[in-house]
Amino acid sequence: MFLDNKPMMKEKIMNENSIFAQICEYIHKDTGRKNESSKLIVVIRLLILFMAVYSLINCIFIALTRNFGALAFAIASLILFIFAFLCSYHWSSFTSYCALNIYALAWTIASIVCFGWNVGVQHFIIMLLVFCFFSKYRHERAKLLYSAALLVLRIYLYYYCQSHQPVFPLGTELADFLQIINTFFVFLSLAAIAYIFSADSQELEGKLIEYNRQLVKQANTDTLTGLYNRRSTMEYLDSLLKNRNNQISICLCDIDFFKRVNDTYGHDVGDVVLKKISETFRKELPPDCFVSRWGGEEFLLIFPKLNGDEAVTALERLRQKIKAIVFDGVIETFSVSLTYGLVEYDYHSDLTTILKEADEKLYLGKESGRDRIIF
């Protein structure tokens, strides 16, 4: 029996989803006029809908008190907002915007006069204030004037309630309940305004941040290998050498007979070799080791926390790993080796001297047979 009900439940959920989708599609329906913001009309319809639902709740709970005057006002408010919602499909966005403000202000004033300050209808003035700044592009002076008018109106209504009794006094419990309902719908309206109008800008800002991150990455890394490039390496070394408490070892290494690899197997295979060796650097060297492509088949390795002897140990492990890699040259398989020139920072030499010394040791390694570490 339970299994038989499963398809029915699934169908019911799908129907509910389709109804919800139809409601969303109906709210998003365009006015059909050119050069109008579809986002603006969606927010207008949502706000009118929220206030219509709020009025419906008012009708239900005021009916329980049998205060027929208050009930008539609540029903009239509901009809007014339903009418405004339907008209939004025939009016322009600007007309709907003006109508929403006029209806909401008239309804707020009438609600305060009828029910008093304690029901919290005045909070909708803040919603109109926020909506004003989000909805209109430019028109800063008009926004400021409208904001000032809303401020004056809210203060006036507060003092009005101090000296006038509500036309339809409500019990304390009902007034408190309507205050909570008001607060809920005002927060819901503000959230809808902020979310819909800020979604695109936040997405755009996120794309700009990611784009800038990509630009920085491209400026600081080698395109082929993904390692740091020469410029970013020099910046890193400059900052590193300023701190004389750092233990630093620097290694300049070079792929042996790399020109032969390109000539024999082609540049595409040569690129594969560069990528694989770069990947091995990242995998086998200590996590804080700074690895860069210095140029061509040359790489610069910076060990910020290792002395020379410790760096030799790390390099020897790396040397063995790289020699063990077998590359597919199509016509045959082959392996490559690297020669390493290592220096330890003496806290006195400048950057140019250190790099020159590393280059000299690399040259010495090449002259003495390659595939070795000279320290």
Q: What is the dihedral of CA 186, 187, 192, 194, to 10 degrees?
A: 110
Cβ-Cβ contacts under 8 Å for 91 (sequence gap 6 or more): 31, 99
Residue entry with tokens 């949502």: 46
Known catalytic residue at 297: yes
From the list 25, 205, 235, 297, the catalytic residue is 297
* ∠ CA 358-363-364, rounded to 5°: 95
| Residue 60 structure tokens | 């239900």
How long, in residues, is the chain?
375
100: nearest Cα among 127, 120, 137: 127
Catalytic residues: 297
